[in-house]
Chain A
Amino acid sequence: MPIIVLPRKIYWNENVEDIVKSIIDEYGLKTILVVTDETLSKLEWFNNIINAIKDAGAHLYTYEKVPPEPPIDIGEKIVSTLPGDTSLDGIFAVGGGSVIDAAKSALIKLLRPDVNIEDVAPFNPLGIEMKKPLLIAIPTTAGTGSDVSYGIVLTKETPEKREKIDVASYEVIPYISILDPRLPGGAPRRLIIGAGLDALGHALEALTANQSNPMTDALAEKTIEEIMLRLPKAIEGDLEAMARVHLAATMAGIAFTNGGLGLIHAIAHPLGANLKIHHGTMVGIVTPHVVEFNSKDPTLKEKYNRVKMILENIHGWPKRESLADHIRALYEKIGFPSRIRDYGIDQEAYKDVKGKVLEEVFHDPSIAFATVLPTFEELEALLDRLY
């Protein structure tokens, strides 16, 4: 039987300062650590959150130095800034996936200092559930789903190589997620698009993953519908559309935590790292090609066709050959360049990277959840089509 895991509360389309105050009161949070990055720490709304915590009378510590792609020891780094006798009641992770993952690492380090972060696994109970500090996520991008997911992605660097380490524990799923659309809505247009396409990729993967189940299907289908319909307006500054995309990203996070990812992410992880293309953008490039590849499986094709039917029969979108064609039409509408050549990558350079990535795709943890596995030849042809 599948295990289905969820956060305790999701506040949606709310004013974050008000919710922060009410949570501090409701849960008796007297000492709080806020984790964020340097860029966000300088923004006005971030200071408003800090002021809300201070107004609520909580004692406050902040860590404002989470880098993009946080290192394997980020949990230790965060905890080392706290006085030795600190007893935290809450950790507020204010940021994107990197910040939330760093806060999850700090939570483990605080409650289980004996555990090596690389040994954290879903099947190894940590015994930290329902214990303070409570982890509260305030996602500032509408895409990663990290506010409701069990994963932690960290970067390990040795003199020989630099690698991404994916670990996971059901016990680090944030207790509460607060979704205020003003936060992701204030991001640059290209980041909103990248994050939105990352969420779309999460939902399409969860829908077709080998661990999908009726609950993840329902969440994934609705997420795809929401993003296809609302992302164009969200990037134009429509706050109501942004709120819907924000919630959709969180729904996709629940869907992939419980259903799994697949080939889109297995390709996007190594290809994005090697080409230095933003993760969400890379996911967007790969998505329609994997949807076409997966469609050779009748069960997956039927799942895609259900979404296509919703778009065409309920929302009156023009009939197209496949769901992949609808996704390409969305890209045209939002002005998303969808080929690798569009990002200034030279064809010869791409050939070199392709050879390396071919092997790495088959070592990416996401591929374990792919229902249809490509052969090396099929994968090579797919990578050629991306250029």
Chain B
Amino acid sequence: MPSFPSKEWAEAYCRELNNNPNYARSGKGWVWPILFKVTKLPKDLEEKFGGKKPGFILKLNNGKCEGVEWYDDSSEADAPFILTASFDDWLEIITGKINPLTAIMRRKLVVEKGNYATIMRYPIAALEMVKTAQKVGLE
């Protein structure tokens, strides 16, 4: 099982999204890449990434994941939608302890860039993305 966050985890996630028929259906119409940023890493990961905030871009297009770009330093990356959360909050979202849209409402998951109304029109896709992340698992 790949560790989170890592390039391997992001790639496994992209593959699993393409195996999820519910995501394929609910993600139709979403054509924008998303940059996921991870902040407030635990000490071991902070050392691993040299104090930088890692992240990855998922190239999402009409219910498909068309590829991944990994960044050890996500400040070098850009995408039409940028979602940022602390490591602990990502774990809460990925493990299903908090619904991703609720996380946005409570500012645990920050929409750094992108249109809120657009995100709110894909609630099922967001939930399917979380279910898929659970399949990838966490080390």
* A369 vs B104: C-alpha distance when bound (angstroms): 13
* A124 vs B104: C-alpha distance when bound (angstroms): 10
Instruction: Say yes or no: A118-B29 contact (C-beta < 8 A), given A123-B110, A368-B99.
Output: no
Minimum CB–CB distance from B39 to chain A (whole Å) comes to 16
Q: Which of B28, B105, B115 contacts A118 (CB 8 A)?
A: B115
* A373 vs B105: C-alpha distance when bound (angstroms): 20
B1 within 8 A of A: no
B3 within 8 A of A: no
B124 within 8 A of A: yes
**Nearest B-chain residue to A367, judged by Cβ:** B123
A119 within 8 A of B: yes
Interface of B: prevailing SS = helix
A: interface residue count bin: 20 to 34
Contact flags A116-157 to B (C-beta < 8 A → 1, else 0): 001111111000000000000000000000000000000000
Q: Which of B99, B111, B124 contacts A362 (CB 8 A)?
A: B124
**Nearest A-chain residue to B105, judged by Cβ:** A122
> A167 near B122 (CB under 8 angstroms)?
no
A210 within 8 A of B: yes
* A363 vs B119: C-alpha distance when bound (angstroms): 9
**Nearest B-chain residue to A167, judged by Cβ:** B117
* A373 vs B115: C-alpha distance when bound (angstroms): 24
Contact flags A318-357 to B (C-beta < 8 A → 1, else 0): 0000000000000000000000000000000000000000
- Most chain A CB neighbours (cut-off 10 Å) among B104, B105, B106: B105
CB<8 Å pairs between A and B, sample of 7: A3-B105, A119-B115, A363-B121, A363-B124, A365-B120, A365-B121, A369-B101
The 8 closest A-B CB pairs, nearest first, are: A368-B123, A121-B116, A365-B120, A368-B101, A362-B124, A363-B121, A123-B107, A367-B123
A positions within 8 Å CB-CB of B: 3, 118-124, 165-167, 210-211, 359, 362-365, 367-369, 373, 376
Q: A362-B124, A363-B121, A364-B121 are in contact. List 6 more A-B contacts (CB 8 A).
A: A122-B105, A123-B111, A364-B123, A367-B124, A368-B123, A369-B101
